[in-house]
Structure 1
Amino acid sequence: MDLNDVRGRFHKSIKPFTAFLIRHGIRPNVVTSASLIFMIPASYFLLNHEDELFISLFMVVAFLDALDGAVAENENAKTKFGAFYDAFTDRIIEGILYLCIAMAYENLMPLSFVTLILSYMVSYTAAWHKELKKIGVGKRAYRLIVFIIAFLMHQLFYGLLIISILAAITIAQRLYYVVRNYKEL
């Protein structure tokens, strides 16, 4: 199943909720800001090994990350600033997440930083050409799902390893696409 199909179904299924938010003055950027705000206590709980509280709040963060795009799309509220702000906030949240993992689990520090760098590179490649966002097996939504499942199974090492591998494959797929389609290289 393609992530875009899932995304489209999700957006359609919550259209009444997104309309409610817009009617009450809650714009997509407010939802984006809320995800960042929820990440602050989530990171505190991660650092203090309060796993249930962390993962509960982190799932709220992930839901809000999906919701902001749904609000923007469903309610015709897309803006260039909103797209920038959403991507910018996503990078901050990823940075906080992997930094906190490195601090809370010292044995995972090197892998956490590798995962962070590869995740950032996936985003960086897409920043150059919007079409690249559609390419690759390690899109952000998949990486978040892998992280949540690995955390719930108490298998952070393997989760970070899988995320790193997916990100590296995605980077390679995007580089291949660029080399194949832009002959001036």
Structure 2
Amino acid sequence: MCSPEAPMQTVRLLLNTAQQIQLDKSFEHPIDDGRHAATGWLTRFNPAEVTLADAPVRVRGTLTVVERTPSTLEVSADHVFVYAIQRAHERAPDHASLYTVRRETRFRFDRGDLRDHRVELVHSSVLAGPQACAANASKYLRPLVAGESVRNDSPMGTDPYAPGRTPVSLCGVLSPSSQPTSP
């Protein structure tokens, strides 16, 4: 089993120096400012609150590659991840909940990046739920698990599978129609 820091280090090694500094700050002192949230880089749950109830994580998405200039490629990724989770230290499979994370990212590569095995993250956005809107999700995503409910001010009908840009908010209640279809 790998340490919780292993995925972050793997991502870190792919970034240029300036983005490595930004990533480090995001994990050392995460804040919800659109640039320094740890969850903007990786999907993270607080292991004291929730654990995976089932593996593997289900994922569906697309990758698009566009040649921006003769020496620059841009790769866009739009993926929905579905996690079966439960409260930490609870081992009752009938209490598992589904938690959905939609992550849109854009990366840029030029010839130097390819030579140096580096990537530039241009954009990252995350939509996750169900999650309480009052929860600070800059360090860890804060899923609601079976039996918990959201306050009345939570957006209703969030559909992470809907095409187009995701809203900035990380909270909301999933729409009943947001069930994945068979590939």
TM range (shorter): under 0.3
TM-score (ref. length: structure 2): 0.28
Q: Which structure has more strand as a fraction of its residues?
A: 2
